[in-house]
Each structure stands twice: as structure tokens, then as C-alpha cells.
Amino acid sequence: MSKKITAEEVDSFMFQFKVFIGVAVVVFFLPLLLYAVYMGKRMDQFEDSLRYQFPQPNGSIADVDDAEQVPLAATSGQVVYVPAYSHVYHEDGNPHLLTITLSIRNTSDEREIVVRSVRYFDTRGQQVKSYLKQPLTLAPLGTTEFLIERDDSSGGSGANFLVDWVAQQRVSEPIIEAVMIDTEGQQGISFARAGTAIREIAPVAADQ
């Protein structure tokens, strides 16, 4: 004859079962919780190590006061060829019109340069436009820009500029580049092309 289980025994069994489950949960999840806390602190430390820190001086001004400064690639003038694109082709040869900005930046922080001419040529090499009626002086670190509007497709996909600049003394080469961009439609496009010096110009007195 089987023994009848009393209510007290059922309650005792359920209590022990709950205690067992509680201990199992603690034993299983506590290490995971501690590991998560540890990894969180490690991640915070890692992110803190990557935060921007203002550079701290670690040298002496006396170490560089007597250093001689010589401009890199110093020259007194150049004719610079700059490739440009009034449009590029896409899909089945359809033209995508672009706005062109010619940027001329004087990289010398001490001397001015003089831009004597900026000429725009089309794909066939024919001059389309000449921008300067008289020389343009760029102050140290100064910049000037010339714009070809998006709807002006006269240059074509093989357009280019010739930039003629001079300086009274040898200076670092200016940065001359064409920036092409279009933001119409669902997908924008932008890219830049740097100029290439094709001739050097001997020192001359800059026109004012």
C-alpha cells in the first residue's frame, strides 16, 4: 500500500525545489553578470583611451629656433595643367552634368604669388574662356576660385584649365585643383583632380 504524501511534504519539496532553482540561477547567471560588468568597464577604458587628447608640448623652443626653413619644391612660377569634367558618362553613355570649381591656393605663409592667367579649354583643345583681364595677386595662404556652372557643357568630358602664376621670389608650389560636383537627383557625385606643372617660369617682377 503506497504511502500518502502529506501537504507538509509537498510544501517542503516545493521549497527545496525553489531553493535549488534559485541557487542554480545564481550560480549560472552571477558569473555572466560579473563578466558583463567587467567587459563594460574594459570597454569604457578602451573608449577613454581613444578619446581626443589635445597635444601636449614635449620639446623646447630653443631646439627649433635656429632651424633653417626651406620651402619644399620651391619655384618662382609655373604653367599648370588642370584636368576638368563638365560632364561624365553613365549607363548607356548618357551625360551627367557637373559643376566645376577651379581652386588656386597659395601655400606660402610668407610670400604672395601672382596669377597671370586662367584659361579654360574644351575636349578638342580649343580655348573656351579666359578669366583674367589683369593679374590677380594672392596673399600668403590666400585662395581664389573660378566657377563653371552645371549647365555650361562647353568644356565637355575632356575639359581642362591652364593656370599661369609667378612670384618675385621662390615659393612653395600652390595647390591647384578642379573640384567636380553634382547633387541633383537621388545620388550625388563629387571628385577632384589635381593640376600638373607643365612648364617652369623664371623669376620675374610681379605685376600689380
CATH number of the domain residue 96 falls in: 2.60.290.11
Same domain? 1 vs 24 = yes
135 shares its domain with 40: no
Residue 50, classified by CB atoms within 10 Å of its CB into exposed (0-12), middle (13-18) or buried (19+), is exposed
* Conformational region of residue 47, where left means phi above 0, alpha means psi within -120 to 50, and beta covers everything else: alpha
Overall average pLDDT of the 148-175 stretch: 94
Last residue of a domain, one of 66, 90, 114: 66
* Average pLDDT for 129-148: 95
Q: Are residues 62 and 95 in the same domain?
A: no
Tens of pLDDT along 168-191? 999 999 999 999 999 887 778 899
Scan for cell 614635449, then name that residue.
Answer: 58
Low-confidence winner among 62-71, 94-103, 158-167, 192-201 (lowest mean pLDDT)? 62-71
State the average pLDDT for the chain: 84
Decide if 21 is inside a domain: yes
Q: List, in order, residues 6 or more apart from 44 with CB less than 8 Å away.
A: none
Q: Which of 82, 87, 80 is nearest to 178 (CA)?
A: 82
Residue 87 resides in a domain: yes
- Mean pLDDT throughout 140-166? 95
51 and 118 assigned to the same domain: no
Q: pTM for this one?
A: 0.67
Q: Do residues 61 and 87 both lie within one domain?
A: no
| Residues 36-74: tens digit of each pLDDT | 888 888 888 877 777 777 777 766 655 555 556 665 668
Q: Which of 22, 42, 66 is the last residue of a domain?
A: 66
User: Residue 35 region, left (φ>0) first, then alpha (ψ -120 to 50), else beta?
Assistant: alpha
**Position with higher pLDDT, 49 vs 90:** 90
Q: Tell me how many domains the chain contains.
A: 2
154 Cβ contact partners less than 8 Å away, ≥ 6 residues apart? 86, 122, 128
Among 42, 66, 90, the domain boundary falls at 66
Q: By residue range, what is the domain housing residue 130?
A: 75-200
What is the predicted pLDDT for the residue at 112? 95
Which helix (DSSP H) or strand (DSSP E) does residue 50 occupy? Answer: helix 7-50
Q: Look-up: residue for cell 599661369?
A: 164
